[in-house]
A and B are shown apart, each in its own frame.
Chain A
Amino acid sequence: MIPAVLAQVGGTRAAPLQLPEVEYSAMAPALILIGGALILLVWVSVVRRRPPWLWAAFSLVTGAAAMGASLWLWFDVRDDGPRRAVADALVVDGFSVFFFVLVSATVILAALLGEGYLRREGFGGPEFYVLMLLSASGAMFMAAANDLIVVFLGLEILSIALYVLAGFHGRRLESREAAMKYFVLGAFSSALFLYGVALVYGATGSTNLVSIAQYLAGNVALENGVLLAGMALLLVGLGFKVAVVPFHTWTPDVYQGAPSPVTGFMASASKVAGFAALLRVFFSTFSTLRLDWQPVVWGLAVVTLLVGSVLAVVQTDIKRMLAYSSINHAGYVLIGLQAGTANGISGALFYLLAYTFMVLGSFAVITVVGRRGDAHHSLDTYRGLAARRPTLAFAFTVFLLAQAGVPFTTGFLAKFYVVSAAVEEGSYALALIGMLAAVVAAFFYLRVTVLMYMTPASAEEVTEGAPPAQPRLRLPATTGVAVAVAVAFTLAFGLLPSPMIRFARQATLLM
């Protein structure tokens, strides 16, 4: 334990500094990502001439290596069981390795997206990849954290890189605005989170998740106001990251302003990491306080589901629409948490898995349709897309319908999984609200398919002085690969979901 180590250091001045043993293998995926980022930074300053695809290729290799290390850890955990590392600061269990795998996949897909985008927008350097890799390593630390301080460190590593990424397209005013908003509100929520950590420490005497759980199991606080306040602040801080209503207000603006691949990465990695911490802290650490947080999560889930789906209906910008849709999705993950059972948690994990591919696929399409300047995101841009790019329109339809929860896609099974966990625990009302919110949500997903398939691209002919026929969309090969992978994942595991369900289930059981 870190406090113990520090006390030891302070107490025995003469003795050599006692460092905890560092099990590098436990952090291997995160270290690979950090190493890759550092190599990129050095490389760009040393070597002058290099082909333009190099950075993307290297990031892909890094992501793949991280994925390989994660899978190796998965089998390791499965055979030898969970273990704690680095003086109990980290835990390597099924749960954290699940997120290692998921974040690695995000990195790979986002790197594929970034390549085409950066080239189109004329950004040569590796900054995008460096920041993305670092941010992803933060996400992994959050998932593996066994200490609130480490959660905070991961959160900051993740967020600071994301603040910069959001403002990455400096020529676009919206991008800078998004970065600023995200930074100010993000810093605010980090502060709340930190204060929550402090209060929990004050109430329980530890920041270590296991120690807190043990303390709470062994002691009943008659006056637990401080503890509850700390727990609430943790919920606010993490709720901000995962865009839970009412801490969601930054989401539409930032999603809209940030460069499209960054939005995709933000919507997946950042939300996934936030939920990793949220699920672990509330499900396993505060499990004894379940009766206190369950009603709160219930309420948050309801407002998140309803606000997300209803406000998405009135959006006219596809990225804002998907921002509200991602809020709506957060509500479903909360349904899983609210159930408070192993089934609920594995449902939440499966949801995040399905969601990651759907949302990254969607933003891949949006990146392409946004065209040069990343500015064409009004819903009208999608008019008649099916006639111009049938395959792209079909892929987007798959992502949208999957998000709406149409059968034979992972999106349907994800909703089914969390809702069944809720029903199993008797939360019928919440389950019903979730499904009804899905009906509202289906409306705005359908609206896009209506535009793509059923509306001719005749806006130009009607309005005078508009630009002539829409220019042909360029679909870079790398983006095409990302879209294809996401479609294949969404459909294949929608049809035969057993491997992924088992993955999520084992991850929960090995917690």
Chain B
Amino acid sequence: MGVGSDFPILSTIVAVPVLAAVVVALLPRSRPDLIRNVGLAASLAVGVLTVVLAIDFEAGVPGYQFVSEHRWIEDFGISWILGVDGISLFLVVLSGVLFPIALYGPKVHKDLKSYVAWMLVLEAGCIGSFLSLDLFLFFLFFEITLVPMYFIIGGWGYENRVYASVKFFLYTLFGSAFMLVGMLALVYLSAKGRAPVTFDIRELADRGAVAGNTARWIFLAFVAAFAVKVPLFPVHTWLPDAHTEAPTAGSVILAGVLLKLGTYGIVRFGLTLFPQAAVDLAPLLLTLAVIGIIYGALVATVQKDLKRLVAYSSVAHLGFIVLGTFAFTNQGLSGSVLQMVNHGLSTGALFLLVGMIYERRHTRQIAELNGLQKSMPLLAAVFTVVMLSSIGLPGLNGFVGEFLILIGTFVTHRWWAVVATVGVILAALYLLWAYQRVFHGTPTGDNVGLPDMTRREKTVMAPLVVLIVFLGVYPKPVLDRIDPSVDRLIDHVESRTDYRQPPVAADLGRNVRAAERGIAAQRAAREAEGHQDAGEDHGGAGEGGGEGEHGRVDE
């Protein structure tokens, strides 16, 4: 591809939004068009770079790629280390796609300049978190995302925005307090005696110096931070408020990207750094995840506010992701990583659609809406597709992820998977019921004669719908890139603990890995022909590994 091997693409992806934010801050307030264009151009540039990254990314290579490493605060052993692997790659792409959409889509009614600047800072923070391979650097990015999100919710949100934004900030900070102490404990305990202090997670994972009970406590400290962010069941209460009160773009980013920081953090740091503790405490987290699935779905069912309904559906969906993570099988974890992306697309799109309805009706109360299908057929159609994706209908992206998660969990934790499956049915219940009340019937009152989607709204929704369908029909290119890293992580867990995947799951995983070794050999032999052929070979073998399509054939 066009990018040279020594071009620091990851640092550029993080730096561009920051620089653009500074530029926007220096532009005069009286030039809103210029401000919007600068913001949009920067976020589009980042989007393009992330897509280039995904294309350049070597499928089949499990380790970190494009690593860029610079010394930063040497006295603490802190470095600027960015790198991407299959687990983080598509979260970066997701951020790259969602941010331009969030910036361009919803209208901003006041103070565009600060809004655009904060959004750009937020983008840098989110992507930086996904790319950091240094614990300290991750923590910085993880925390800094709070500030722009706080201002976006508090400055551009709805009636109860101040309460929601402060709650959001403090909840997350509360979790982070545990994580910071846990992180320092890990770093210093790993450095005792022999090795220099380092925050490099690759090195820390190798050392694995912290054992037993200590590791469990530190793991719990990390989980405290991530559980708030995900959010897991008992600490989820900030989410409905924050989502409901945030402006549309804020909700899109919050649901689409920010929540993934929690699930990503659990996978990247929890599983990698504390394999034994993660295995030991898996039943606890699986249980919380299942409670979240059922509870989120039930509460979503009884919501009167459409946006709040979508918010609670996030609690349920994120429960699935955690479930797949702690199943400790290749399929479950792959499904989780894929589902992070899927949820970002479908819930982001749902929030955009709810925002469009609000723009027209100035209410989100389900009871006040009816028959919207008559006046807005296109919006209703798009809503249907997105909703079905969120429910997990085969052929759309949500199915692939949820199916992998459930199959992966069933192998190791049967009853959790059984209960979680009920959540899929409940998702159909609350979403279809809401759709029925809002879109069906004959419009009355203010619901008559609403304008359908504008060109701008179509532009915004088109890429999301395309991705939703594409990932549902042909997830292979994505899974090809995710799987090797997932396998490596599961191998890492197995090599550090007594835990072994059950033979079914392990066989499938081994097939995949064997296939990859074959591909590596082939690739070396056929350098000239490029990786396209190899990728297809690999895909064919990989599908044997019980992924979406294979599973569907079984059914």
B169 close to chain A: CB less than 8 A: yes
Say yes or no: A431-B184 contact (C-beta < 8 A), given A439-B170, A450-B162.
Answer: yes
Are B155 and A454 touching (Cβ within 8 A)? yes
Can you name the residue of chain A whose Cβ is closest to the Cβ of B147? A406
- Interface class of chain A by DSSP: helix
Say yes or no: A438-B173 contact (C-beta < 8 A), given A446-B150, A453-B155.
Answer: yes
- Interface class of chain B by DSSP: helix
Say yes or no: A423-B154 contact (C-beta < 8 A), given A435-B177, A439-B173, A505-B75.
Answer: no
Are A423 and B166 touching (Cβ within 8 A)? no
Are B166 and A406 touching (Cβ within 8 A)? no
CA A443 to CA B154, docked complex, whole Å: 14
A58: chain B residues within 8 A (beta carbon): none
CA A99 to CA B169, docked complex, whole Å: 35
Say yes or no: A432-B184 contact (C-beta < 8 A), given A406-B143, A406-B144, A439-B173.
Answer: no
Are A438 and B177 touching (Cβ within 8 A)? yes
B176: chain A residues within 8 A (beta carbon): 435
**Partner among B150, B155, B181 whose Cβ is within 8 Å of the Cβ of A435:** B181
CA A286 to CA B400, docked complex, whole Å: 66
Q: Which of A228-236, A478-486, A494-502 contacts B (4 or more CB under 8 A)?
A: A494-502
**Partner among B73, B162, B184 whose Cβ is within 8 Å of the Cβ of A454:** B162
A436 close to chain B: CB less than 8 A: yes
How many A residues are at the interface, by size bracket? 20 to 34
B140: chain A residues within 8 A (beta carbon): 407-408, 412
Are B73 and A497 touching (Cβ within 8 A)? yes
Are B139 and A423 touching (Cβ within 8 A)? no
Mask of A396-416 contacts with B, CB within 8 angstroms, 1/0? 000001000011100010001
Shortest distance between the CB of B235 and any CB in chain A (Å): 13
Shortest distance between the CB of B498 and any CB in chain A (Å): 28
Shortest distance between the CB of A85 and any CB in chain B (Å): 30
Can you name the residue of chain B whose Cβ is closest to the Cβ of A417? B76
B76: chain A residues within 8 A (beta carbon): 420, 501
Are A436 and B174 touching (Cβ within 8 A)? yes
Are A454 and B154 touching (Cβ within 8 A)? yes
A254 close to chain B: CB less than 8 A: no
B527 close to chain A: CB less than 8 A: no
Are A436 and B177 touching (Cβ within 8 A)? yes
Can you name the residue of chain A whose Cβ is closest to the Cβ of B166? A446
Are B154 and A401 touching (Cβ within 8 A)? no
Most central of A407, A424, A436, A502 by chain B CB within 10 Å: A407
Are A498 and B185 touching (Cβ within 8 A)? no
**Partner among A420, A501, A502 whose Cβ is within 8 Å of the Cβ of B184:** A420
Are B185 and A428 touching (Cβ within 8 A)? yes
CA A380 to CA B422, docked complex, whole Å: 51
A442 close to chain B: CB less than 8 A: yes
Most central of B72, B144, B181 by chain A CB within 10 Å: B181
A412: chain B residues within 8 A (beta carbon): 140, 143
Are A498 and B73 touching (Cβ within 8 A)? yes
Are A432 and B73 touching (Cβ within 8 A)? no
Mask of B69-96 contacts with A, CB within 8 angstroms, 1/0? 0001111100000000000000000000
B139: chain A residues within 8 A (beta carbon): 407
Shortest distance between the CB of A256 and any CB in chain B (Å): 25
Are A454 and B161 touching (Cβ within 8 A)? yes
Total cross-chain contacts (CB, 8 A): 81
Are A498 and B74 touching (Cβ within 8 A)? yes
CA A432 to CA B181, docked complex, whole Å: 6
- Count of chain B residues near A, Cβ 8 A: 33
Please report which residues of chain A, range 431-486, place their CB below 8 angstroms from some CB of chain B when the two chains form the complex.
431-432, 435-436, 438-439, 442-443, 446-447, 450, 453-455
A419 close to chain B: CB less than 8 A: yes
Shortest distance between the CB of B243 and any CB in chain A (Å): 18
B57 close to chain A: CB less than 8 A: no
A454: chain B residues within 8 A (beta carbon): 154-155, 161-162, 165
Can you name the residue of chain B whose Cβ is closest to the Cβ of A502? B75
CA A420 to CA B77, docked complex, whole Å: 12
CA A435 to CA B184, docked complex, whole Å: 12
CA A438 to CA B161, docked complex, whole Å: 23
Shortest distance between the CB of B142 and any CB in chain A (Å): 8
Please report which residues of chain B, range 108-154, place their CB below 8 angstroms from some CB of chain A when the two chains form the complex.
139-141, 143-144, 146-147, 150-151, 154
**Partner among B141, B173, B177 whose Cβ is within 8 Å of the Cβ of A432:** B177
Are A498 and B75 touching (Cβ within 8 A)? yes
B279 close to chain A: CB less than 8 A: no
Can you name the residue of chain A whose Cβ is closest to the Cβ of B174? A439
Are A419 and B161 touching (Cβ within 8 A)? no
CA A75 to CA B161, docked complex, whole Å: 53
Please report which residues of chain A, range 15-65, place their CB below 8 angstroms from some CB of chain B when the two chains form the complex.
none
A406: chain B residues within 8 A (beta carbon): 143-144, 146-147
Are A501 and B162 touching (Cβ within 8 A)? no
Shortest distance between the CB of A478 and any CB in chain B (Å): 24
CA A420 to CA B183, docked complex, whole Å: 9
B188: chain A residues within 8 A (beta carbon): 420, 423-424
Are A501 and B75 touching (Cβ within 8 A)? yes
Can you name the residue of chain B whose Cβ is closest to the Cβ of A404? B173
Shortest distance between the CB of B246 and any CB in chain A (Å): 13
CA A406 to CA B139, docked complex, whole Å: 11
Say yes or no: A453-B151 contact (C-beta < 8 A), given A436-B177, A443-B170, A446-B166.
Answer: yes
Please name 16 pairs of A and B residues whose Cβ atoms are closer than 8 Å in the assembled complex, sorted by A.
A401-B147, A406-B146, A407-B141, A412-B143, A419-B181, A423-B185, A428-B185, A436-B174, A439-B173, A443-B170, A446-B169, A446-B170, A454-B161, A455-B162, A501-B73, A501-B75
Q: Which 4 pairs, one residue from A and one from B, show the smallest C-beta to C-beta distance?
A: A435-B177, A423-B184, A407-B140, A454-B154
Which residues in B have some Cβ–Cβ distance to A below 8 Å? Answer: 72-76, 139-141, 143-144, 146-147, 150-151, 154-155, 161-162, 165-166, 169-170, 173-174, 176-178, 180-181, 184-185, 187-188
Known: A407-B143, A423-B185, A505-B75. 9 other contacts (CB 8 A): A407-B139, A407-B141, A412-B140, A420-B188, A432-B181, A447-B166, A450-B162, A497-B73, A501-B73
